[in-house]
Each structure stands twice: as structure tokens, then as C-alpha cells.
Amino acid sequence: MKKLTLPLSKEQILSLRAGDCVELSGVIYTARDCAHRRFMECLERGEPLPFDPKGAFLYFAGPCPAPEGKACGSCGPTTSARMNAFAPTILKLGLGGFIGKGEMSMETRAALRECGAVYFAAIGGAGAFYGDHVEEMTLVAYPDLMSEAVYRMKVKDFPLVVAHDAHGGTVYE
């Protein structure tokens, strides 16, 4: 198990290989399909994204409201393939990578290689477990999207598997 603290350097990202188990600590941002559509609208208008994409990691998740005494409720990954249409464009802004569930397209995998980024897989059905690894959660943008809004999360020992690495490796073949 590799313990990594975000942001990751390019060298750290390039050292990761498909199948590596990691625990991430640091800041990630949530964004599902609706938020990604709004990201594209921002870019089309020449506006910046509502977070700095350089080195950032997007978690394809929609957190549930936090119960008393917790930073976050259940926060499991959503199906990453729904973000394939947006992923290459977002990666080219300098993103460190993504966190989600399931395989991503060949186009996204090519963009990961081209940009030197990584895709981590989270465990589907383990939303409560992942929510327990969130220490802080702050709304960043698009509150009208409710759970699909963009949130900044500080996570601790967030367990993941490298699903698609920056060299074209994948756990899905």
C-alpha cells in the first residue's frame, strides 16, 4: 500500500502502475456529469473553472449531507464512463487525474498518457466507508446541483487502486 499526499508530483504520478493500491490524503474535488457540463460551458465562454485544475484530482461522486459530527455523509464513486466526453479536455488543463468507478474509454486513456495523469478506481457500494475518510467538505460551485455540486474535500487515507496509469496500463484487461 502506497501512502500518498496530494498534490502529487509528475514523478509520483509516473511512478504509479495499474494495480497499485494507494491511500490518498489531501484535497480532492467532487464533480459528476452535470458539473462537467458546466465546466465545458465555462471553457466555451473563456472563463476559468471554479477550482484550479493544475494538479487537482476530480472524484466522480455526489456526497450525501453530513450527519451530526461528521464532515460528509456517504460518498461513493459514480460510473466514470459518463465523464468520458469531458475527460480529455479537462485533463489538458493540467489535472493530476480522476477517481471513480469502472473503466474509462480508449480516448480518455490516451489523454491520461498524453497528459501524464492517472485514474484511480474506488470501490462501488462503499460510500459510507469513503465518507468516513473525509475530514472536511466545502461547497465550491453550483449549489443548485445539490449533491452533484462541486465540493472541495480534504481526505485522509482514502483507499484506491490505480486503474489506468500514465503509461497505458490498465487493470481492466
C-alpha R_g of the chain: 15
Ramachandran bin of 47, using left for φ above 0, alpha for ψ from -120 to 50, beta for the remaining angles: beta
Spatial neighbors of 90 by CB under 8 A, at least 6 apart, are 36, 39, 53, 58
Contacts of residues 109-114 at CB distance under 8 Å and 24 or more positions apart, as own/partner, are 109/164, 109/168, 109/170, 111/87, 112/164, 112/165, 112/166, 113/166, 113/167, 113/168
Active site residue 167: no
Element (H, E) at 89: helix 87-91
Q: Residue type for 54, please?
A: K
Catalytic one among 36, 133, 164, 167? 36
Q: Supply the residues annotated as catalytic.
A: 36
